[in-house]
A and B are shown apart, each in its own frame.
Chain A
Amino acid sequence: MTKTIPTISSTSIRSHGGARASRSLPAGVPPDTIVKWFRDMLLIREFEVRTMQAYQEKKIGGFCHVYIGQEAVAVGCTAAIRPDDPMITAYRDHGHALARGMSSRHCMAEMFGKIGGCAKGKGGSMHMFDRANNLFGGHGIVGAQTAVGTGLAFATKYEDEVINGGRSDRVTLCFLGDGALNQGVLHEAMNLAGLFDLPVIFVVENNGYSMGTAIERGTTMAHDLSVKAAAYGFDAIEVDGMDLIAVYEDMKAFCDSCRAASRPGFVDMKTYRYKGHSMSDPRKYRTREEEEHFESGDPIGKLRDVLLSAGVLDEAAVAAMQKEVRAEVKDALQWSEESPAPGIDELYHDVYVERWGPYTGTSLPEMLREEKR
């Protein structure tokens, strides 16, 4: 299937945040698909609100980082790649899991620490894995996933070319926060990716803050991150991550180009998280005015306006959809509540593939067993 795509140069630099004029639907995408993207964003938003609630009700433990405000990034990027393209991200990962296709039940149950979770309750909020949907985690150590993501791209290329004797045909999306820009491992990973011509795209979800440190305070050349990619010899784009259509169009073009060239890429994905870094963040490091500015340009509101003005959806349909995702998340909460805690025998399970000593081997989580059936 071939399609006209916008050139990178014409769309790469956009205004970031705030309200903007309505725009047209992306060319060549069936309206139903766009409606699904819209629904995915609604779902993530509702899911994350209920996650915060459940966290405050102590049903979720540990560290918990919600994705509210950044929904367009995960949904738009997922839309821009193929299901067989690997994806890997950091710890703010619920949105990626849901966008990639994990059911809200398995995602929520994981945070509840239940056996029905995607990782049987052993991973938690920061470790959403979904093999069926080629999501390679959810990683807790800032930047660590960038080297692993480079390895995913190495593997796809190796499989396609060395083992199967064909041409490299997959691209890996490796998400990181702007805080990870300053981790040494990213430097190593980008250098290796450039050196080995690996089809991995480093998507910096640049929400402006690494925890409480504004990007300018922690990162050199924050105003033009493309120079970071230039240092490793690969292309970079800047994308308005608060606009799903922009994310889709720009990422689609960029991914296709990286796929075709079997080359790495770098994306400065401008976005904003409405909530704190984690559930215990009072957000004293930024102003209420700044938050309101970005909230006024909410990606969900923007796409709704586009869909309404294009006549794809009407208000009633949007309301029905809102109701639907609310019910779905409610069901996920209920299901997670009822899912049993992992049995104590799970403690020594999944430590090693091989059974030895006290270790009882490994098995797939319920989520994948269901899908196999």
Chain B
Amino acid sequence: MSATAVREIEFRDALREAMSEEMRRDPKVFLLGEEVAEYDGAYKVSKGMLAEFGPRRIIDTPISENGFAGLGIGAAMMGLRPIVEFMSWSFSLVAADQILNNAPKMLYMSGGQFGCPIVFRGNDGAGGQLGSTHSWCVESLYANVPGLKMAIPSNPYDAKGLLKTAIRDADPVFFLESERMLSMKGEVPEEEYLIPFGQAAIRRTGEDCTIVSFGRPVHFAMEAAETLAAEDGIECEVIDGRTIRPLDLDTIVASVRKTNRCVVVDQSWSFASVGSEVAAQISEHCFDDLDNHVHRVHADDVPAPYASNLEQEMLPNPRKIRSAVLSACYRA
């Protein structure tokens, strides 16, 4: 195997590499959260980091999301670079005041005196039959707030590149991972790289319909796109947003101007969501280019159910995406 051969590593390994590399580079970076140290990470993302960096930088917290999120914010105001891990973003709701009121507004409220260079990261989205309270997709809820940035990688390569960017960013970053993707393998080079925020990736090119998605549903969009090409003769352009704030509107607009049709796939609920924001932006910027209204595929507008069949039905999936694309192309 040549030196330049690309490795395949898991999503969780990519996250760990990003954190470890940044911690080696910058002593101000530390990791804080439940079970990140002694337990080696609830999902083994931080496995081995305690051994390398010690308990002063890999810090186990009690189950006190509001407290340790606020602690991280205070540390960030002092100029440190905390990485705060939420075992699940579902648990971040009890820290809402800290992560929504303090982190994103501190710079503004202080008239430019105190920034908040912090990363909040953890699992977002339904895990597997975890029920209503543990299956939050927080992107729509939180993306509403100015002052924060939001990244949502769909593969190991992006996970590493985006997380490194997040850690170096001077502003608070909400970094949304997915429990269902942590074991996904993907090519990640040995060499260091960063992925800038606000640059979507075009995962597949096509002329007939644009599919915009973020995070895990990008894979459903790709699957749907292949079926549409094979079964329906429809070529989709699949855009992986990669970051929700900043949103790479330029790439989306350019694609929709080409295809004239768009389906947005967003795993959160539809009402006042990332999906509705993207749809609204497309209406504003591509009105004369649209051949149909923007179609949206979201989680159904119900609490996440426990039963497996209901949960699967609730979430976006390739079948729903295909159906939306057919409708957008007047083929349904």
Contact = CB atoms under 8 A, between A and B. Distances in A.
Question: Is there direct touching of A and B in the complex, by C-beta distance under 8 Å?
Answer: yes
Interface of A: 86, 88, 117-123, 127, 129-131, 136-139, 141, 144, 146-156, 158-159, 161-163, 184-185, 187-189, 191-192, 195-196, 349-354, 356-357, 362-365, 368
A154 B80 CA distance: 10
A151 B70 contact: yes
B201 to A, nearest CB: 18
B67 A365 contact: no
Contacts of B57: 162
A154 B75 contact: yes
B69 interface: yes
A137 B115 CA distance: 12
A231 B189 CA distance: 50
A179 to B, nearest CB: 15
A148 B70 contact: yes
Contacts of A127: 109-110
Interface residues of B, number: 48
B111 A163 contact: no
A257 to B, nearest CB: 22
B107 interface: yes
A352 B197 CA distance: 13
Interface in B290-314: none
Most buried by A among B59, B61, B78, B80: B78
B98 A365 contact: no
B78 A152 contact: yes
A237 B109 CA distance: 33
9 contacts: A141-B101, A144-B98, A147-B73, A151-B72, A151-B75, A153-B74, A191-B64, A352-B147, A353-B117
B77 A152 contact: yes
B53 to A, nearest CB: 10
B109 A122 contact: yes
Contacts of B102: 139, 144, 148
A155 B75 contact: yes
A137 B111 CA distance: 11
B70 A119 contact: no
A362 B107 contact: yes
B246 A357 contact: yes
A150 to B, nearest CB: 5
B258 to A, nearest CB: 23
B27 interface: yes
A86 B134 CA distance: 37
B257 to A, nearest CB: 20
A200 to B, nearest CB: 9
Given A141-B101, A148-B73, A356-B246, A349 B112 contact: yes
Contacts of A129: 109-111, 113-114
Contacts of A187: 67
Nearest to B28: A163
Q: Which 7 A-B pairs have the closest CB atoms?
A: A151-B74, A147-B70, A188-B67, A119-B111, A155-B78, A353-B170, A129-B110
Given A141-B101, A354-B170, A356-B198, A120 B67 contact: no
Given A147-B70, A192-B68, A353-B171, A158 B75 contact: yes
B39 to A, nearest CB: 16
A187 B66 CA distance: 10
